[in-house]
């Protein structure tokens, strides 16, 4: 039998505890040959506030843990009876493994993908440019260009409004 990835449902907020408990149980019950890796799918989220970047880990699927295992009655029992586990994802009582592409995508997303950014700015908001050639200028946000992680700001230069593209790290709110 081949090892496959299964999705285990947990109590919300218990994902890391389930991972730790399951790792201990695998060792104490000698299941290393049946249960391999346990993942709590996470991704980096970049938050930018007042021009400062802060990276935090965010659960991709809250309430779920991925378990790479060979499904047998014994391995099913060990996982199913781990504290915090409410069951396997599947139809009825039969757990259904993720297909290889789904598993590969989740693993790629966890480690190899660029962090997703979250910005707390809105169009129309007045900001000050804090770095770069337009430092010291004030303007209002015309457009958020999230795919480029930039913002288009209208700055008043020589008596006319001029659109300027800036990184989110180059701007700050007016206090």
pLDDT (tens digit per residue) in 78-113: 999 999 999 999 877 779 998 888 887 887 777 644
Distances (CA, A) of 146 to 26, 86, 119, 121, 150: 43, 38, 9, 11, 6
What is d(CA 30, CA 101) in angstroms, rounded to the nearest whole number? 30
CATH 2.30.30.30 residue ranges of the chain are 121-173
Would you state the pLDDT for residue 97?
92
CATH 3.30.70.940 residue ranges of the chain are 4-117
CATH superfamily of 4-117: NusG, N-terminal domain (3.30.70.940)
Strand ranges across the sheet with 42-49? 52-59, 42-49, 116-119
For 121-173, CATH gives 2.30.30.30
pTM value?
0.60
């Amino acid at each position: 039998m081949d090892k496959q990835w299964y999705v285990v449902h947990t109590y919300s907020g218990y994902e890391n505890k389930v991972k730790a408990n399951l790792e201990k149980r695998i060792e104490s019950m000698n299941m290393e040959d049946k249960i391999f890796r346990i993942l709590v799918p996470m991704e980096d989220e970049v938050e930018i506030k007042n021009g400062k970047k802060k990276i935090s880990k965010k659960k991709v699927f809250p309430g779920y843990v991925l378990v790479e295992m060979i499904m047998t009655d014994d391995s099913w029992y060990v996982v199913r009876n781990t504290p915090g586990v409410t069951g396997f994802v599947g139809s009825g009582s039969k757990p259904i493994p993720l297909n290889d592409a789904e598993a590969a995508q989740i693993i790629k997303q966890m480690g190899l993908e660029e962090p997703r950014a979250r910005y707390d700015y809105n169009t129309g908001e007045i900001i000050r440019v804090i770095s770069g050639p337009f430092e010291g200028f004030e303007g209002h946000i015309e457009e958020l260009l999230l795919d480029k992680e930039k913002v288009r700001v209208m700055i008043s230069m020589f008596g006319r409004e001029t659109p300027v593209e800036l990184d989110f790290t180059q701007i700050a709110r007016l206090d």
